[in-house]
Amino acid sequence: MAYSLEGRTGAWEVVVGLEVHAQVISESKLFSGASATYGGAPNAHVSFIDAGFPGMLPVINKECVAQAVRTGLGLRAQINLFSRFDRKNYFYADLPQGYQISQFAHPIVGKGNVEIELQDGTIKHIGITRLHLEQDAGKSMHDQHPSKSVIDLNRAGVGLMEIVSEPDIRSPEEAGAYLRKIRQIVRYLGTCDGNMEEGSMRADVNVSVRKPGEEFRTRCEIKNVNSIRFVMHAVEAEALRQIEVWESGGEVVQETRLYDPSKGETRSMRSKEDAHDYRYFPEPDLLPLLLEQSWVDELKAKLPELPDEKRARFCREYGIPFYDAGVLVAEQATADFYETLAKGRDGKLAANWVTGDFFAAMNRTGKNIENPPVTVEALGQLLDLLADKTINGRIAKDVFEEMVETGKMPAAIVEEKGLKQVTDTGAIDAAVAKVLADNADKVAEYKSGKDKLFGFFVGQVMKAMQGKGNPALVNEAVKTQLG
């Protein structure tokens, strides 16, 4: 069922387009040699170029261009061998030059698309309109002094990629899935850390509503939303507001709005009438950016495997379900962990362990994939002990918990605690015989037709053997002795 919102006059469809601002991972800023790293004392990473001093000129950082191209390739998009920078003019205290160097008419990346997966398993394509490079602004803080604002220019001039989607998104869920996908792709590529809390990824959300089958109606833009959850909330809040406006006979006016997460509503920031006239014109301090196809090809050849391809390969190579593969590739580090574990082992078993006990232990201990609760070597050894039948599955779970707790290797734990699986049929037969003898009444019930008791006998035998009995052999012995 497609997502829609029910108004007084019937169902409304929600139309969303997203502009994602992703901070480029690079040593230095887009047009200066100043450090682009996050943090540092205020105004510690500022060159005279960033501060807009007289006579200072921008020089393009080749690594930022490469990062934009890599991202474009990851978005399966057209790479424009000719692109150009423009000036976007406006006054603000944290915009030292009085203009932002951006790409308006000729972006470095053109049309592309990404695949998103929804809760019900549906796959949908969201079109990418363009990606362009631009400078970030500095940061104004208005709460540090009773009458003055203070400005930190550390971020001023850091490279940003603005990734603009087509208005293909139709629900808060799709908006969230799209953002997660973009974040996943840039993280895989190492072109942006995708960290929305630190502001290195932010989204402008364009929302409109319409009756099914209609043309697009007027949209509003919600600026600078800084979490996926807020984006999803903002889409719904803004759509509901617009439906209310239309249904009460009003008209939605095109404007820029802000989302207030504490109130769960959007409010007007500025209307179209007071919209800035940015007076874009070609940046005369920079020549057009001309890329060689061979350079683009080189970057393409060195691109890491992207999540979609990795997922398909995991299904193919390790025989695991599509859903499980999706979970495993969500983060590159998890995918790497899994693949190291699955190499030369049972891929399905490895997937079950990673998505099951391993994830559970990670959540429980508050650790993460970079600093996992058990090392991939340790977990691998555990899988090997299972594979060569040194231990059985039940014991493995206990060993795993012990590993999480003590950090010891599984072989050592098995050795120490004598957890080796018993495959000696004599010992098993004896244990079975004792259990059946001790439970003569239950045996009688079983024989009169209570089949379910079979599991009870197996459980009792395993218990008597401290869980170490080979499950298949125990099963067989119980069956034989019950006649």
Partner 1 sequence: MSIFDYTIASAAKALKAKEISAVELTTAYNKAVAELNPRLNAFITTTPDLALEQAKAADARIADGSATPLTGIPIAMKDLFCTEGVRTTAASKILEPFIPPYESTVSGKLKAAGAVMLGKANLDEFAMGSANITSGYGSVENPWKRQGEVAKLVPGGSSGGSAAAVAARMALAATGTDTGGSIRQPAAFTGLAGIKPTYGRCSRWGVVAFASSLDQPGPMARNVEDNALLLNAMAGFDEKDSTSAERAVPDFTTALNRGVKGLKIGIPAEYRLEGTNPEILALWDKGIEWLKAQGAEIVDISLPHTKYGLPVYYIVAPAEASSNLARYDGVRFGKRVDGEDLIDLYERTRAEGFGAEVKRRIMIGTYVLSHGYYDAYYLKAQKVRNLILKDFTNAFGQVDAILTPTAPSAAFGLDEKMNDPVTMYLNDVFTVPASLAGVPAMSVPAGLSAEGLPLGLQIIGKHFDEETVFAVSAAIESAAGFSALPEVRAK
Chain residues that interact with partner 1, rule: CB under 8 A: 48, 51-60, 87, 89, 91-93, 96-99, 149, 151, 277, 279-281, 284-287
Q: Which is nearer to partner 1, 85 or 337 (CB)?
A: 85
Cβ closest to partner 1, residue 42 vs residue 167: 42
The three-point CA angle 479-480-482 to 5° equals 65
Please name which of 254, 230, 231 lies closest in space to residue 242, comparing C-alpha atoms. Answer: 254
Nearer to partner 1 by Cβ, of 60 and 464: the residue is 60
The residue (of 57 and 301) whose beta carbon lies closer to partner 1 is 57
* SS3 category, 102: strand
Nearer to partner 1, 104 or 295 (CB): 104
Nearer to partner 1, 98 or 264 (CB): 98
**What is the CB neighbour count within 10 angstroms for residue 440?**
9
In angstroms, what is the minimal distance from the CB of 55 to partner 1? Answer: 4
Alpha-carbon gap, residue 316 to 395, rounded angstroms:
30
How many angstroms separate the Cα of 373 from the Cα of each of 50, 322, 401, 407, 418? 43, 26, 10, 8, 24
Min separation Cβ 204 and partner 1, Å = 20
Give 92 or 323: the residue with its C-beta nearer to partner 1: 92
Q: Toward partner 1, which CB reaches closer, 92 or 322?
A: 92
- Minimal distance, residue 182 CB to partner 1, in Å: 31
Q: Least CB distance from residue 175 to partner 1, whole Å?
A: 30
260 forms bridges with which residues in the sheet? 265
For residues 451 and 474, give the distance between their C-alpha atoms in angstroms, rounded to a whole number: 17
Q: Least separation, in Å, of the C-beta of 130 and partner 1?
A: 21
Identify which of residues 279 and 389 has a Cβ nearer to partner 1 in the complex: 279
Give me the least distance between CB of 335 and partner 1, in Å please.
40
Closest CA to 353 of 408, 403, 417, 305: 403
User: Is 165:195 a contact under the CB 8 Å cutoff?
Assistant: no
3-state secondary structure of 204: strand
Residues 6 or more apart in contact with residue 255 via CB below 8 angstroms: 220, 221, 268, 269, 270, 271, 272
CB 241 within 8 Å of CB 267: no
Residue 297 phi/psi, 5° resolution?
-60, -40
Q: In what order do the strands lie in the sheet with 281-282?
A: 99-102, 86-89, 281-282
Per-residue HEC secondary structure of 81-119 comes to: CEECCEEEECCCCCCCCCEEEECCCCCCECCEEEEEECC
Q: How far is the CB of 26 from partner 1 (least distance, A)?
A: 18
User: What's the start-to-end Cα distance of the chain, in Å?
Assistant: 55
- Residue 278 CB, nearest approach to partner 1 (Å): 8
Cα-based torsion angle of the residue sequence 388, 391, 394, 396 in order, rounded to the nearest 10 degrees: -90
Comparison of 103 and 242: residue with beta carbon closer to partner 1: 103
C-alpha pair distances (Å), 258 with each of 12, 56, 375: 22, 35, 45
CB of 144 to partner 1, least distance (A): 15
Work out how close the CB of 270 gets to partner 1 at its nearest, in angstroms, rounded to a whole number.
14
